[in-house]
Chain A
Amino acid sequence: MSKENSKIPVEKLGTGIEGFDLISQGGLPKGRTTLITGTAGSAKTVFAAQFLAEGIRKSNEPGVFVTFEEHPAEIRKNLLSMSWHIQEWEEQNLWRFVDASPQPGHETIESGEFDLGALLARIEYAVRSIGAKRISIDSLGAVFTLFNNATLVRAELRRLSAALKGMGVTAVMTAERTQEFGEIARFGVEEFVADNVIILRNVLEAEKRRRTIEILKFRGTTHQKGEYPFTVLPDQGIIIIPLSAIELKQRSSGMRVPSGSPEMDRMCGGGFFRDSLILVSGATGCGKTLMTAEFIHGGAKKGEKCLLFAYEESREQLLRNANGWGIDFEALERNNQLRVVCAYPESAGLEDHLISIKQEIDSFKPDRVAVDSVSAMERVGTNRGFREFMISLASFVKHREIPGLFTATTATLMGGPSVTESHFSSITDTIILLRYVEMLGEMRRGVTVLKMRGSMHEKEIREFTIDHQGMHIGKPFRNIVGILTGKPEYLNVESMDRISGMFQD
């Protein structure tokens, strides 16, 4: 076998854990042992169990779960919340427990030399009896607490590791660590157990918990480096968000779709591109939700399916507002042309929001999607978490090859950039600015297409008005400068002439 191994590169076993196979470039090294370390509450046991559960669900591969900590009955019960029916799998010989958890009344007396041969024999028996391909051992630290002699335990674990290799199973072992950053695991287990180490973290950052996974090493094979955020969801378990592992491979088409406003279509040189991301930025109340509604309406008129995520208004408010602009969202929903998802940003973490957005898109299969507003999410996570959220959301929507319209609220009334913009502008294809313009003691509204990749677009700032029929884009502001900086200034006719004269001979 070792002769084969020296020639064939390390094969990988797809785990089936969402996102993991991407960041690990194919899964866990096949036939080897991988150590999963993390502090208390870092989802080690979930990872260990999910490794087996996905094997059963996705490739019908039986698995053995060796538990040193929790009693099997507890594990069965806890994992039922993930909809993993372990008991049924046990009956079908797809899952087997090796129960090495502390037994009440089993306090033992040590007299002379011993080894963990019985444990090894039981594991081997379990693996052989169901033909297991995967094995999870949770957790190594607990083994040390069972026996006084740490040296012996260490030697025995090394023997176990070697035995697992002989059985041809792909193994996951968990181990505790006391700090998020520091030694890899307690008792130095990583030194003798595994060629492969994965670290799960659950870091408190600015009062928010952020879970990440990092593949520290895979001996003899490649993987993505660095930390990736993940979340643990009921019914699904661990879902990893493979940020930078996302490939920029979406196709690009020249196909245009209506923006919902004929004037806006003209400003953009014929509508939005079908597979583009549009960022609409503006201060509060200057018409972002309206543009969103127009965008939805424009799609619906063409018979498209639209999905709207609203994070600033309740459903009722949104329907009422849309009605005020002459757009009947309820009728569209009845026709199954629209789905409105309203959520309070604080109701979940960013990772959870991201996953629920993905799931809505996957299940509704919209032809266009709008998020009003993405900047509401800034409140929920850390700066870094938010940036990851935006990038991940953007690339996900792009992969669907559907237009996505996102709105962002600027911090100040008269303009200026928002956090959302600075994180997001480079990955958006189109940026539309909505701005208040103070004119003769009156607040007017202006709109301009700041950028549009791959297309000519108007450079003017046009005035627009809002009435019961929606948005009306009118003439450009000709004699005002400084709208974007928030300090509009009038130019009288003479200075206008002078400026135009400057560029002529």
Chain B
Amino acid sequence: MSENEKFLLKLYITGHTPRSERAIKNLRRICAQDLDGRYEMRVIDILEQPQLAEDEKILATPTLIKVLPPPLRRIIGDLTDTEKVLLGLDLLPMELKL
């Protein structure tokens, strides 16, 4: 992965619940720490746009989808486990993966 590759991240939430807010906050923190401006983050509220959830076949919320760079990855949860998130975003070196 080259250094200037841009990340497109979509975070699906169902309403602005404490859990949703926690996920947004966690994602912002991780992006700020590890992606340093090389990202675009969209928050999609399924209650407002249910069809988008249908199209993406999302079951659990919050769900984070890493659209770019490939491969596509899905991370569910409020993203409190930073290591898992980094793993999902392919930001961890191979040997650390579970």
User: Chain B at the A interface: mostly helix, strand, loop or mixed?
Assistant: mixed
Decide: B88 and A111 in contact? CB cutoff 8 A.
Answer: yes
What does the 1/0 interface line of B7-23 toward A look like (CB < 8 Å)? 00000101100010011
The answer to whether B60 touches A118, judged by C-beta atoms less than 8 angstroms apart, is: yes
The residue from A107, A110, A118 contacting B59, defined by CB atoms under 8 A apart: A118
From residue 58 to 87 of chain B, which have CB atoms closer than 8 A to chain A?
A: 58-63, 71-82, 84-85, 87
- Residue from A98, A105, A117, A120 having most chain B Cβ neighbours under 10 A: A117
> By CB atoms of chain A within 10 A, which of B23, B59, B74 has the most?
B59
Check B75–A117 contact: CB distance below 8 A.
Answer: no
- Residues of A contacting B3 with CB < 8 Å? none
**What residues on A are CB-neighbors of B88 within 8 Å?**
109, 111
Evaluate contact between B76 and A109: CB separation under 8 angstroms.
Answer: yes
**Which A residues, 115 to 130, have Cβ-Cβ distances below 8 Å to chain B?**
115-122, 124-126
Assess whether B53 is in contact with A122, with CB atoms less than 8 Å apart: yes
A220 within 8 A of B: no
In contact, B62 and A114 (Cβ under 8 angstroms): yes
State whether B81 touches A112 (Cβ < 8 A).
Answer: yes
- A118 with B46: CB separation less than 8 A: yes
List chain A residues, Cβ under 8 A from B57. 99-100, 103, 106
Whether A118 contacts B77 in the complex (CB less than 8 A), given A100-B59, A111-B88, A147-B60, comes out as: no
When distances are taken between beta carbons in the complex, the residues of chain B under 8 Å from A113 are 19, 77-78, 80
Distance from A95 Cβ to chain B, minimum over Cβ atoms (Å): 15
Distance between Cα atoms of A124 and B79 in the complex (Å):
26
Tell which of A99, A106, A115, A122 touches B74, judged by Cβ atoms closer than 8 Å.
Answer: A106
* Contact yes or no, B19 A125, CB < 8 A: no
Contact of A121 with B76 in the complex, beta carbons under 8 Å: no
The complex places the Cα of A386 from the Cα of B81 at a distance, in Å, of: 63
**Given A100-B57, A125-B54, is A114 in contact with B78 using a C-beta cutoff of 8 Å?**
yes
Closest Cβ of chain B: how far from A200's Cβ, in Å? 26
Which of B12, B19, B58, B80 sits near A115, CB closer than 8 Å? B19
Residue of B at shortest CB range from A106? B74
- Minimum distance in angstroms from B98 CB to a CB of chain A: 9
A146 CB-CB contact with B under 8 Å: yes
Taking CB atoms and an 8 Å cut-off, the chain A residues in 253-298 that contact chain B are none
Q: A108-B76, A110-B84 are in contact. Are A115 and B50 (CB under 8 A)?
A: no
Q: Which A residues are CB-close (under 8 A) to B81?
A: 111-112
User: Closest residue to B47 on the A side, CB-wise?
Assistant: A121
Are B54 and A114 neighbours in the complex by a CB distance under 8 Å?
no
When C-beta atoms are compared, the residue in chain A nearest to B60 turns out to be A114
Give the CA-CA distance A271 to B47 in the complex, in Å. Answer: 74
- The residue on B at minimum CB distance from A98 is B54
Q: For residue A147, which residues in chain B have a CB less than 8 angstroms away from its CB?
A: 60
Residue B4, interface by CB 8 Å: no
Return chain B residues, CB-CB under 8 Å to A105: 71-72
Cross-interface CB contact of B76 among A103, A114, A122, cutoff 8 Å: A114
Most chain A CB within a 10 A radius of its CB, from B47, B57, B78:
B57
Q: Is the CB of B76 within 8 A of A110?
A: yes
Interface 1/0 per residue, A92-106 and B, CB below 8 Å = 000000111001011
Partner among A100, A103, A108, A114 whose Cβ is within 8 Å of the Cβ of B61: A114
Q: Which chain B residues (23-77) contact chain A, with CB distance < 8 Å?
A: 23, 26, 46-47, 50-51, 53-54, 57-63, 71-77
Bound complex: CA A106 to CA B57 (Å) = 10
Of all chain B residues, the one with the shortest Cβ separation from A119 is: B59
From 385 to 440 in chain A, residues with beta carbon under 8 angstroms from any chain B beta carbon are: none
Q: Are B50 and A122 in contact, CB atoms less than 8 angstroms apart?
A: yes
| Known contacts A100-B57, A122-B53, A108 near B62 by CB under 8 Å | no
Chain B CB within 10 Å, residue with most, of A103, A105, A125: A125
Residue of B nearest to A68 (CB): B59
Contact for A121 among B53, B73, B74, B85, CB less than 8 A: B53
In the complex, are the beta carbons of A118 and B53 less than 8 A apart? Answer: yes
Residues A118 and B72 in contact in the complex (CB < 8 Å), given A109-B88, A111-B84, A111-B85: no
Q: A121–B75 contact, CB under 8 A?
A: no
Name the residue on A nearest B80 (C-beta): A112
User: Smallest CB–CB gap between A348 and chain B, Å?
Assistant: 41
- A109 CA to B79 CA, complexed, in Å: 10
Contacting residues, chain B, for A121 (C-beta < 8 A): 14, 46-47, 50, 53
Q: Are A111 and B75 in contact (CB under 8 A)?
A: yes
Interface centre among B12, B72, B77, B82 (most CB of A within 10 A): B77
Tell whether A146 pairs with B59 under 8 Å between CB atoms, given A111-B80, A115-B19.
yes
Chain A residue at smallest Cβ distance from B48: A121
A–B Cβ pairs within 8 angstroms, 29 of them: A99-B57, A100-B57, A103-B57, A106-B57, A108-B63, A108-B75, A109-B75, A109-B76, A109-B87, A110-B77, A111-B80, A111-B84, A111-B88, A112-B79, A114-B62, A114-B76, A114-B77, A115-B14, A115-B19, A117-B14, A117-B15, A117-B46, A117-B60, A118-B46, A118-B53, A118-B61, A118-B63, A122-B58, A147-B60
Chain A residues in the interface with B (C-beta under 8 A): 98-100, 103, 105-122, 124-126, 146-147
Cβ-closest 5 pairs across A and B: A117-B14, A125-B50, A112-B77, A112-B80, A111-B84
Other A-B pairs, 9, CB within 8 Å; known A111-B85, A118-B60: A105-B71, A108-B60, A108-B63, A108-B76, A111-B88, A114-B76, A119-B58, A122-B58, A124-B50
